[in-house]
Amino acid sequence: MLNGAGRRFWVARPFGIPLHFEEKRRKNMTAASHEFMDIRQEIAGIPVVELARQFGTPTFVYDGRLIQRRINDLRVFDTIRYAQKANSNLAVLDLVRREGVLVDAVSAGEVGRAKAAGYVPGGEPPAIVYTADIFDREALDLVVAEGIHVNCGSPDMIAQYGERAPGGEITLRINPGFGHGHSQKTNTGGEQSKHGIWHDQVAECLALASRYDLKIAGLHMHIGSGTDLEHLSQVCGALERVALEIGATIKAISAGGGLPTPYRVSDVRVDIDAYFQLWNATRSRLQDAFGHAVHLEIEPGRYLVAESGYLVAEIRAVKRMGGNTFYLLDAGFNNLARPILYGAYHPMSIAAADGATTLERQAVVVGGPLCESGDIFTQSDGGFVGSRELPRAKVGDYLVIECAGAYGFAMGSNYNSKPLAAEVLITPSGTPHLARRRQSFDDLIRGESIPG
């Protein structure tokens, strides 16, 4: 904005965004509106029908080139650290590792996955960071034995780690007292969230760290998944205040994750440049205060992989129930739980088995095969069943649930004794690779036994 003398001045916006950032954000977000097709013939250049016939259904298909594109969006940050809980398939982990992305793990199993994908513990910055609110016994043993850097989300973690590995470095995950996400269930800040160390417990944590000769070398905040730039920007000031309280031992700060992903035509992309500038300004002030360089990380999960993923399912029944028409698929919430958990919206498209591309539209309810009334993909938060305008389809056609690369397979289950789906990565060179075979019946009952 210009004052009477024709000079630019900053006006504080809600959530602390300078006016020129806000103006730029609105301009960029309008230009970045997303488009989705309701008829889909191919995924990453491979015909949907061909993928379905080769690998069966339901199958998750991931576009490796799109993952690369999202990584490139974030290269302005010093380090990109992938929150693998979004999608921990080894082929995906290997792809992001080859792109220079480091990894976050929230369990001993995720540490094992990272190592299996080629990550080596250690390094500066550390290749693998263990982030959690507790240590189960297996995880504590593992991080101590492997020398894995830990991001402590509770004072008890500091004490438990200090008893086993005194004299090391740790990061603290701080709950700033506020949070925001696309659903209350994905809100990871505030007093109703279990995540992080409460912001007024920093002095207690400093005393604990001192008792075990631990150096607090990093600081991390994450307020929720699917939030927006306004709420994300609040984290900068909150983290800066805590960092100044801790002092010059801080050598790395993490912006966390939570970057939104477009699922609807009306959704818009976050302005990464504006977001980085906010964090870079915070980092610069801390460097001035501490007299040394401060490393700036970002920790995306969904942002890197959501748009790359497609759940390809076959329509197995088309039925009328009063005024509703249902498309019933061979995929259910055992494959993609986000709609039943959060009322999450996913774009959908039809791939006709005969290749037809001129189809009339009709309002349909899309559901799965499970013996559960909530097995509906077109529901809103609270379980209210809705419909979607989709092309007319018949049994044997394919329905593709899009933007399903994050928290899809990773949250899958064997409910109704359904096997876990297959996963296919279309490599950046355009080759479909079976990244995980579909479970067999023997896989389903492996480990079970009947008493003699």
Tens digit of pLDDT for each residue in 205-250? 999 999 999 999 999 987 755 556 666 677 888 899 999 999 999 9
The number of angstroms, rounded, from the C-alpha of 115 to the middle of its chain's C-alpha atoms is 20
Tens digit of pLDDT for each residue in 372-391? 999 999 999 888 999 999 99
Is residue 9's pLDDT more than 60?
no
Per mean pLDDT, which range of 228-232, 295-299, 444-448 is the poorest? 228-232
371 assigned to active site: yes
**Given this model, what pLDDT does residue 348 score?**
98
DSSP letters along 234-268, please?
HHHHHHHHHHHHH-TT--EEE---------STT--
Residue 19: band (very low, low, confident or very high) from pLDDT cuts 50, 70, 90: very low
Out of 152, 205, 236, 371, the active site residue is 371
Dihedral pair phi/psi, residue 346, rounded to 5°: -125, 135
Residue 8: DSSP 8-state: B
Tens digit of pLDDT for each residue in 117-158? 999 999 999 999 999 999 999 999 999 999 999 999 999 999
**Given this model, what pLDDT does residue 236 score?**
87
> Long-range contacts of range 121-129, CB-CB < 8 Å, 24 or more positions apart?
121/146, 121/147, 121/148, 122/147, 125/78, 125/79, 125/252, 125/295, 125/297, 126/102, 127/102, 127/103, 128/102, 128/103, 128/104, 129/81, 129/102, 129/103, 129/104, 129/105, 129/171
**Given this model, what pLDDT does residue 224 score?**
56
Q: Which domains does the chain have, with CATH numbers?
A: 75-299 (3.20.20.10), 307-439 (2.40.37.10)
Query: In the chain, pLDDT over 70 holds for what percent of residues?
Result: 87
Is residue 184's pLDDT more than 70?
no
Segments in 247-327 forming alpha helices (H):
272-290, 302-305
